[in-house]
Amino acid sequence: MLNFDIYDALDKEPDEEWISRLAERIAKVIATRIGEFKRSKELRLSMIGRCKRYIWYHAKGYEPEPLHPAVRLKFLFGDIIEQLLIGLIELSGHEVTDCQKEVELNGIKGHIDCLIDGQLYDIKSVSSRSFEKFVRGLLHRDDPFGYYAQLAAYAEALGMEPAGWIIMDKQLGHVAVVEAKYEYLPNAKEIVNELKQIVQQDDPPERPYEPVPEGKSGNMKLPTECSYCAYKWHCWADANNGFGPRVFLYSKGPVFLVKVVKEPNVKEITQQCKNGV
């Protein structure tokens, strides 16, 4: 099994060539993530499974929420983990090819992570909670980043069937190989065509999510998908009678309230969140 091979690779003696190749790839991802952070308005295959309203804001050039440096570091750390995994897969004796190969589906471009022994896998570094969801086969029920659609798009672009994901729990170091279930793979060409129409529209599509209660106070908050979204300030600008979301720092982390019936007894950090500090 590939995941046990990855663990076994930790006991192998890497040669100079392997070390240089890994160092070069890691240096490349670090160089890409450090420096001025630019977001492109371009639609990419990696995004096609996301909220359609998110795609509309993205394509129309709306200013996304500034990323806190800690979030940028987290993304960089995730990229490094993914390169490390690819390196360990190579070291374990599997053939890794087509790293970062550009693919295209109905005019929309993307880059695959790699093929492993000729099979299409996407490599992901994930939280412990997300790892659990992957290994229990529940991704199709809660897939806010659209991993199934992303994999389907790469597979359709390459004209092959996808194998699945190789994931690592970035908190605990657990690795798993998760098979993509064919019944949950969407038709990526249809999604791409629909998105191309959506981004031509003057108005965004309807919000697909509803606010959820925050405890029993009557206060309502953004659902998880929206609280992580870079366009939430635009999307929920009508919340709180036109003020927009208000952010309160609870011990469990920030909560984005869209209706405040009872003022929370914790610090409000709305402005800091809007400024990304």
Residues that bind ligand SF4 (CB under 6 A): 51, 53-54, 57, 207-209, 225-226, 229, 231-232, 235
Q: Nearest distance from residue 63's CB to ligand SF4, in Å?
A: 13
Q: Which is nearer to ligand SF4, 197 or 265 (CB)?
A: 197
Q: Which is nearer to ligand SF4, 139 or 235 (CB)?
A: 235
Q: Which is nearer to ligand SF4, 72 or 207 (CB)?
A: 207
Q: Which is nearer to ligand SF4, 160 or 237 (CB)?
A: 237
Q: Nearest distance from residue 155's CB to ligand SF4, in Å?
A: 25
Q: Nearest distance from residue 235's CB to ligand SF4, in Å?
A: 3
Which value, to the nearest 10 degrees, does the dihedral of the CA atoms of residues 223, 225, 231, 237 take? -10
Q: Which is nearer to ligand SF4, 208 or 276 (CB)?
A: 208
Distance (Å, whole) CA 88 – CA 93: 9
How many other C-beta atoms can be found within 10 angstroms of the C-beta atom of residue 5? 16
Q: Give the C-alpha distances (Å, rounded to integers) separating 9 from 13, 55, 91.
A: 8, 40, 6
Q: Nearest distance from residue 44's CB to ligand SF4, in Å?
A: 17
Q: Nearest distance from residue 58's CB to ligand SF4, in Å?
A: 9
Q: Nearest distance from residue 224's CB to ligand SF4, in Å?
A: 10
Q: Which is nearer to ligand SF4, 198 or 249 (CB)?
A: 198
